[in-house]
Structure formats: C-alpha cells, structure tokens
C-alpha cells in the first residue's frame, strides 16, 4: 500500500467514526442537556487513534471493519469520559482542551461528572448490543470483560489514581511506567486486542498483539512528554513546558531528553519488530506505529 492510500484509508475511517458517534447519542432517550454534554466532548475531535487502531487491526486480519464500529465507538466514549473526569477541578483542573472550554466549564461540574458516567455506562451497552450475526455472544462477553479490565481499577482508573498519588514526588522509572501502562497503555492496548479478539486470533497472536500495543502505548506517552518540551504550542494545543511548570514526572525529567528519545526509539523498534512477526497484513498498523513515534501533536 502506498502511503497516500494509507492516509486516505485512515481519514475515511476517522470520518466514519465521527459520523457514527453522535448518532449513538441522538438515539438516547435522556434529558437534552445530558445528551449535549456527552456529545460536546465526543465531538471535540482529537486523533481518534484508539478507534483507528481497532479498525486497522481488523483490516490486518482481513476482517470487515464494519463489524468493529460499535467497539470503536465504545472505546472512544471511554477515552472521552476519562478526559472529562480528568479535566475536573478536583483532578487536573483544566479549563481548555484542544482549544475549547472543557466540559465542566460549559455544562457545570455535576453535569460533567454525569456525562462521563453516562458515556462509560453506554460503552458496555454498545458492545452487548452488537449484531449477533457478525459478533457471537461469547466474543462480545470477552470484549466486555477485557474492556472493563482495561478501563477499570486494574487499568485506566488505577493508573489515574497512581498518577495522583505520585504528584509532587520524585518517581522511579518503574513507577512512572506503571502509571503510563495503566493510565493510557491498557486502553490503547485494548483497542488493538479487541481487533484480534473479533478476528478470532490465536492465543499466541493475541499475546504478540498485546506486546506490540504496550510498546506502542509507552512510545505514545514518551512522545507526549517530548512534545511538551520541544513541540509547538500551536500544534499541541497547550502551552509548551506545562509539565515542568506543574512539576510532573516525565520521561525527559527522569532520563534526560536524549535518554527519553532513545527510550522512544527502543519502544517503536520493539513494536515494529513484533507486529511484523505476527504474520498479518500489518502495513497500516506499522504506519500508525511510526506516526506515534514522530507525531507533532
């Protein structure tokens, strides 16, 4: 596949996800302010990297991406709920995200919390309700179990708690990796694993997908930390150097900038080696992996 074809493929899939997401919300019989609050953050954009990873994994296994759309949307809803709750005054207290006022600034704190709760709850319904001719019941249940693990106390929620616990403390590298593996890594990994699960991948291939995904997740986070120092304010949508201002533990602060860059390269290399070994049509996943390592926002 030519790079041009890959980028065209990804932008058309992104468009599809962004068309479907608000339809799911419109469909709800709920107070309109709640639906508005849920939609506001879902529509705020972003790279949609998680749903794209899921759909690209399905494609790598020669499966119809269509079957994965509800899971892709469920993952994006969980990611979005986590951003809404993270931005709250009692957490990161952010007034802006991607250049727009955060959810609680527009809808108030109570509605923002409840919009997050609603998105989280709905995500499980989307998976349970999938077309049974495309996804059999046992597969749906595996998708639900793994999503709950990736998003809950053993995954993203646990990572967020560890992140708060670590604030203002000098962390070791393993402590920092624990936080990122859980706070962002597990849901990113799930996006890829879910594709493998739907494609009935063997246990061995699922394990390799997971290894690919965890390296990709850490690379994603390290690139984030680097961009906070070397990126352009316009591209990243927040002030450069905010991690240092907030005394955040980052890869550059623990390893120096060149150490962080070496670590980034290591994880990208590991991810690339693993994905090539699986024996699937992994071109788009490889492209996304390279993109994660070099992205400017």
Q: Which residues of 151-179 are buried (b: 16+ CB within 10 A; e: fewer)?
A: beeebbbbbbebbeebeeeebeeeebbbb
Sequence-separated (6 or more) residues with CB below 8 Å from residue 225: 243, 250, 251, 252, 260
Token look-up 């919300």 returns: 25
Select 56 or 82, whichever has its Cβ closest to its own copies: 82
DSSP string, 145-189: HHHHHHHSTTTHHHHHHHHHHHTTS---HHHHHHHHIIIIIHHHH
Q: How far is the CB of 126 from its own copies (least distance, A)?
A: 9
Rounded to the nearest whole angstrom, what is the least distance from the CB of residue 167 to its own copies in the complex? 10
Which range touches its own copies (CB under 8 A), out of 7-15, 41-49, 65-73, 125-133? 125-133
How many CA atoms, within 13 angstroms, populate the side-chain half-sphere of residue 185?
A: 24
Kindly state whether residue 161 participates in binding its own copies, applying the rule CB under 8 A: yes
Residue 165 makes contact with its own copies by CB under 8 A: yes
CB of 174 to its own copies, least distance (A): 14
- Per CB under 8 A, does 121 bind its own copies? yes
CB of 159 to its own copies, least distance (A): 9
Piece of 61-69, 133-141, 234-242, 282-290 that binds its own copies (CB under 8 A): 133-141
Work out whether 154 is an interface residue with its own copies (CB under 8 A). Answer: yes
Q: In terms of CB distance, is 166 or 237 closer to its own copies?
A: 166
Q: Does 113 bind its own copies (CB under 8 A)?
A: yes
Q: Is 91 in the site for its own copies (CB under 8 A)?
A: yes
CA–CA dist 235, 91 (Å, integer)? 24
Residue 246 makes contact with its own copies by CB under 8 A: no
d(C-alpha 252, C-alpha 167), whole Å = 16
Q: Residue 35 in contact with residue 270, Cβ under 8 Å?
A: no
Size of the site for its own copies (CB under 8 A): 48
3 lies in the binding site for its own copies (CB under 8 A): no
Q: Do the Cβ atoms of 35 and 42 come closer than 8 Å? A: no
Q: What angle do CA 256, 266, 181 make, to 5 degrees?
A: 80
Q: Which residues pair with 101 in a beta bridge?
A: 96
Q: Which of 274, 168, 165 is nearest to 219 (CA)?
A: 274
- Shortest distance in whole angstroms from residue 211 CB to its own copies: 19
Q: Of 9, 14, 21, 35, which one interacts with its own copies (CB under 8 A)?
A: 35
**Where in 51-90 is the site for its own copies (CB under 8 A)?**
81, 85, 88, 90
How far is residue 186's CA from residue 200's CA, in Å, rounded to a whole number?
20
In the complex, the residues that contact its own copies under the rule CB under 8 A are 28-31, 33-35, 38, 81, 85, 88, 90-91, 108-111, 113-114, 116-118, 120-122, 124-125, 128-129, 137-138, 140-141, 144-145, 148-149, 151-154, 157-158, 160-162, 164-165
């Amino acid at each position: 596949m030519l790079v041009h074809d890959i980028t065209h493929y990804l932008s058309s899939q992104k468009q599809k996800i962004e068309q479907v997401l608000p339809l799911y919300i419109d469909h709800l019989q709920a107070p309109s302010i709640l639906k508005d609050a849920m939609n506001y953050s879902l529509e705020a954009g972003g790279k949609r990297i998680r749903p794209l990873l899921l759909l690209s994994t399905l494609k790598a296994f020669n499966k119809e991406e269509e079957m994965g759309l509800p899971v892709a949307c469920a993952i994006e809803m969980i990611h979005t709920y986590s951003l809404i709750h993270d931005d709250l005054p009692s957490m990161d207290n952010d007034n802006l995200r991607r250049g727009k006022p955060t959810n609680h600034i527009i809808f108030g704190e109570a509605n923002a919390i409840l919009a997050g709760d609603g998105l989280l709850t709905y995500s499980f319904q989307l998976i349970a309700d999938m077309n049974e001719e495309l996804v059999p019941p046992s597969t749906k249940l595996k998708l639900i179990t793994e999503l709950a693990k990736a998003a809950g106390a053993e995954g993203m929620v646990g990572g967020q708690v560890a992140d708060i616990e670590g604030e203002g403390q000098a962390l070791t590298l393993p402590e920092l990796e624990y936080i990122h593996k859980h706070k962002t890594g597990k849901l990113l990994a799930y996006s890829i694993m879910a594709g493998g699960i739907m494609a009935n991948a063997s246990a061995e291939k699922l394990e390799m997908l997971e290894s690919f995904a965890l390296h990709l997740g850490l690379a994603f986070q390290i690139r984030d930390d680097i961009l906070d120092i070397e990126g352009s304010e316009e591209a990243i949508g927040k002030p450069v150097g905010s991690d240092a201002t907030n005394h955040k533990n980052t890869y550059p602060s623990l390893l120096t900038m060149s150490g962080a860059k070496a670590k980034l390269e290591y994880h990208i290399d590991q991810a690339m080696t693993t994905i090539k070994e699986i024996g699937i049509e992994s071109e788009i996943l490889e492209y996304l992996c390279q993109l994660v390592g070099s992205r400017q926002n």
